Amino acid sequence: MTTEIEVSLYVLVLAVPLGLELVRKVSPLLHTPLMSLTNAISAISVVGAILVAGTGNSPGLSKVLATIAVMFATINIVAGFLITDRMLKMFRKKDGGGK
């Protein structure tokens, strides 16, 4: 049990500086798409929701709550990726490129 927590903490202390470093390199031009993309990515919490909603030994209340959570996370996944792509499609460098 203790080792499980330890591993999780290691992951956290590595993931946070990595995230800070990656995000610092993102051009300010793309800060809005960055936010919508990270929103979509953190909706990976759908994984946790599926695990609680689909497990046999969950009581009814837990299943209902987790199923609702699956829906909200899915909204974020779908809307997040789609709108990020919609925004990025609009960024072009030179005049006359496309359209």
Partner 1 sequence: MNDSFWQASYIVAALSVVLSIKWLSSPATARRGVRSGEIGMLFAVIGTLLRHEVVSYQWIAIAFAGGAVIGAPLAFLMPMTSVPQLTALSHAFGALAAALVGTAEYYKDVATGNPTTGFKMVALVIESLLGYLTTTASVMAFGKLQEIVPTRPMTYKGQNVVNLILFAIAMALGVWMIVEPTPIWVFPAFTSLSLLFGILLILPIGGGDMPTVIALLNSYAGAACAAMGFALENRLLIIAGALNASSGFILSVIMCNAMNRSFTNVLFGAFGQAQTGAAAQVSAKPVHSATPEDAASILASARKVIVVPGYGMAVAQAQHKLRELTDILSKRGIQVDFAIHPVAGRMPGHMNVLLAEADIPYDRLHEMEDINPDFAEADVALVIGANDVVNPAARHDKTSPIYGMPILDVDKAQTVMVIKRSMNPGFAGIDNELYYMDRTLMLFGDAKGFVGEIVKELAANK
Name which of residues 31 to 70 contact partner 1 (CB under 8 A). Answer: 31-59, 61-63, 65-70
**Max Cα distance, the chain (Å):** 60
Query: Shortest Cβ distance from residue 79 to partner 1 (Å)?
Result: 4
* C-alpha to C-alpha distance for 96 and 99, rounded to whole angstroms: 7
Query: Shortest Cβ distance from residue 96 to partner 1 (Å)?
Result: 9
How big is the site for partner 1, counted in residues (CB under 8 A)? Answer: 85
- 3: contact with partner 1 by CB under 8 A: no
Q: Give the count of alpha carbons within 13 A of 60, CB side only.
A: 0
CA-based radius of gyration for the chain:
19
Query: Shortest Cβ distance from residue 18 to partner 1 (Å)?
Result: 7
- 6: contact with partner 1 by CB under 8 A: no
Which candidate, 73, 68, 9, places its Cα nearest to that of 41? 73
- 90: contact with partner 1 by CB under 8 A: yes
